[in-house]
């Protein structure tokens, strides 16, 4: 069975075949949930916001102009919905200060991390990711895990191209710094 493209289903939904929306939801539900949970941090809230995203997308499909890929458009709606939820409910997420760690060579941290087994690597990276604020977590998700281009991230977040590049560089430094601190603490402790 061949997998039909997004635009086929979009055209079907716009033409009145509401059942054609189900394959789009199935295709993108994990992606939407993962972007939302990185911002709101609570699974039950992420499920609610994700559901709201798909309702909004369904209602907005007739106006989708195809200037960007459907997935990019959907990411932007999910990102904005999650940020709006956080602002509306005044959720406090633990941001870290903006200082860039320059006291260590990245390659040393990489070597130490690569020396760990796979499960220890995952734990270390997960702990380091937890120290990031919601926007930084989203940028990591989009760029490294979803392999979105800087241009696509710009379209999703509304940040400038140079701002996305600078933030990704700083985030990488922060993550290396956090992992370095954790590794040193582990050696001492």
Q: What is the DSSP letter of 62?
A: G
47 lies in a domain? yes
Does 54 map to a domain?
yes
**Residue 167 domain boundaries:** 106-188
Domain count, the chain: 2
| For residue 15, pLDDT beyond 60 | yes
Phi, psi of 187 (to 5 degrees): -65, -40
Residues 113, 124 contacting (CB under 8 angstroms): yes
| Alpha-helix runs per DSSP H in 41-160 | 43-60, 70-88, 106-114, 118-130, 134-140, 150-157
pLDDT attached to residue 102? 33
CA-closest candidate to residue 150, choices 161, 139, 138, 140: 161
- Is the pLDDT reported for residue 105 higher than 50? no
Please, what is the Cα angle at 81 between 77 and 87, to 5 degrees?
A: 145
Rounded to 5 degrees, what are φ and ψ at 147? 50, 45
Whole-number pLDDT of residue 53: 95
pTM of the full structure: 0.60
Distance CA 13, CA 43 (A): 29
* Residue 96 located in a structural domain: no
Q: Using CA atoms, how far apart are residues 187 and 165, in angstroms rounded to an integer?
A: 33
The token pair that represents 16 in the structure block: 């009145």
State the pLDDT at residue 2: 44
Q: How far apart are CA 182 and CA 124, in angstroms?
A: 8
- What pLDDT, in 10s, does the model give residues 127-166? 888 888 888 988 988 888 888 889 999 988 889 999 999 9
Kindly report the CATH number assigned to the domain that includes residue 161: 1.10.10.10
Mean pLDDT, the chain, whole residue set: 81
Contact call for residues 113 and 68 (beta carbons, < 8 A) = no
In the chain, % of residues over pLDDT 90: 31
Contact 77, 157 (CB under 8 A): no
27 with 56, same domain? yes
- What is the pLDDT at residue 117? 67
79 and 14 inside one domain: yes
Instruction: Based on the fold, state whether residues 12 and 79 are members of the same structural domain.
Output: yes
Contacts of 153 (CB under 8 A, 6+ apart): 139, 142, 143, 159, 164
Q: Are residues 23 and 78 in the same domain?
A: yes
């Amino acid at each position: 069975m061949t997998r039909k493209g997004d635009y086929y289903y979009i055209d079907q939904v716009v033409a009145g075949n509401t059942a054609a929306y189900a394959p789009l939801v199935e295709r993108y539900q994990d992606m939407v949930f993962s972007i939302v949970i990185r911002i709101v941090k609570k699974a039950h809230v992420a499920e609610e916001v994700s559901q709201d995203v798909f309702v909004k997308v369904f209602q907005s499909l007739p106006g989708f102009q195809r200037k960007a890929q459907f997935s990019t458009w959907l990411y932007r709606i999910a990102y904005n919905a999650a940020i709006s939820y956080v602002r509306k409910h005044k959720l406090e997420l633990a941001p870290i200060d903006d200082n860039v760690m320059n006291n260590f060579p990245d390659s040393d941290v990489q070597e130490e991390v690569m020396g760990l087994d796979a499960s220890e690597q995952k734990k270390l990276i997960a702990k380091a990711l937890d120290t990031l604020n919601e926007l930084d977590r989203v940028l990591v998700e989009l760029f490294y895990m979803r392999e979105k281009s800087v241009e696509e991230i710009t379209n999703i977040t509304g940040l400038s191209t140079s701002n996305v590049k600078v933030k990704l560089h700083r985030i990488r430094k922060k993550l290396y710094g956090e992992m370095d601190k954790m590794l040193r603490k582990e050696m001492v402790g």
